[in-house]
């Protein structure tokens, strides 16, 4: 099992540019979560999906952030336009229903917005 | 006030020491409690899971939950340099709109010196 796959691993962009982060969950998992981690705020849940449907997006900071899950094996998190305060590590995690809430995290995407 | 409070440390101990990591929470709906370990530049990985008050032991690790005080702990015996990581507590509530959603503490940075 390859685990949760995220791309790119590192992204450096300039303020105002569009950023797209990608995630492939573990096959068979029906929940997918997007998190953001910073030193100041820790690990924050942005949005999560169940069976490709967004369930809770209350953590999405503002309209500049959007997330999609067009199928069970792929999700994107888009920031448009990006701002320096969006600099953080973004994690994707997945789990299977009934798995005692165990979430499996990807390696993360380190985003730097200049 | 955050739902979950965790002392961010950092905590520095000599090899062989007993380490105590703690979290408090305010949401009485939390029923499932986890500890995740995160190595530098990696995603968090599940270390311990428990859902009842009392102790759960796994090798050198013991998770303790006191629901009446809304307090959880992780003890590491005979700490090793390989235990150096950030430790995050996480909690979830069964059912309702929170189903499947984890709330994380800030994380405690632990360094074990040889």
Q: Encode pLDDT of B64-95 as tens digits.
A: 999 999 999 999 999 999 999 999 999 988 76
Which residues of A lie closer than 8 Å to B, measured between beta carbons? Answer: 4, 31, 33, 42-43, 45, 48, 50, 55-56, 91, 93, 95, 97, 100-108, 110
pLDDT per residue over B36-73, tens digit each?
A: 999 999 999 999 998 888 899 999 999 999 999 999 99
Give chain A positions within 8 Å (CB) of B43.
Answer: 4, 91, 93, 105-108
Confirm if A22 and A6 have CB atoms less than 8 A apart.
Answer: yes
Question: Looking only at Cα atoms, what is the longest distance across chain B?
Answer: 47
Please state, in angstroms and rounded to a whole number, the distance separating the CA atoms of residues A78 and A46: 12
Confidence of residue B7 (pLDDT cuts 50, 70, 90): confident
B32 touches chain A (CB under 8 A): yes
Please state, in angstroms and rounded to a whole number, the distance separating the CA atoms of residues B85 and A77: 27
B100 touches chain A (CB under 8 A): yes
Residue A22 CB-half CA count within 13 A: 9
Q: Which position has the higher pLDDT, A48 or A102?
A: A48
Q: Which position has the higher pLDDT, A93 or B31?
A: A93
Q: Determine whether A72 is exposed, middle or buried from the number of CB atoms within 10 Å of its CB (0-12, 13-18, 19+).
A: middle
Peptide bond into B41 cis (omega under 30): no
Q: Determine whether A28 is exposed, middle or buried from the number of CB atoms within 10 Å of its CB (0-12, 13-18, 19+).
A: exposed
């Amino acid at each position: 099992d390859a685990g949760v796959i995220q791309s790119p691993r590192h992204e450096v962009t300039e303020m105002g540019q569009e950023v797209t982060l990608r995630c492939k969950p573990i096959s068979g998992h029906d929940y997918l979560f997007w998190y953001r981690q910073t030193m100041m705020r820790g690990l924050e849940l942005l949005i999560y999906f169940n069976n490709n449907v967004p369930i809770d997006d209350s953590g999405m900071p503002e309209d500049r952030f959007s997330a999609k899950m067009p199928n069970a094996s792929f999700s994107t998190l888009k920031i448009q336009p990006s701002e320096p305060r969006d600099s953080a590590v973004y994690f994707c995690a997945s789990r299977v229903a009934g798995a005692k809430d165990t979430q499996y995290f990807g390696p993360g995407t380190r985003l730097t917005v200049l | 006030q955050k739902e979950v409070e965790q002392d961010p440390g950092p905590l520095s101990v000599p090899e062989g020491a007993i380490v105590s990591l703690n979290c408090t929470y305010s949401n009485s709906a939390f029923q499932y409690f986890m500890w995740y370990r995160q190595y530098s530049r990696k995603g968090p990985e599940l270390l311990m899971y428990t859902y009842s008050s009392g102790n759960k032991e796994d090798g050198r690790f013991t998770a303790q939950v006191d629901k009446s005080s809304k307090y959880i702990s992780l003890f590491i015996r005979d700490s090793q340099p390989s235990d150096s990581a950030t430790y995050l507590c996480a909690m979830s509530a069964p059912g309702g709109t929170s189903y499947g959603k984890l709330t994380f503490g800030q994380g405690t940075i632990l360094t074990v010196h040889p």
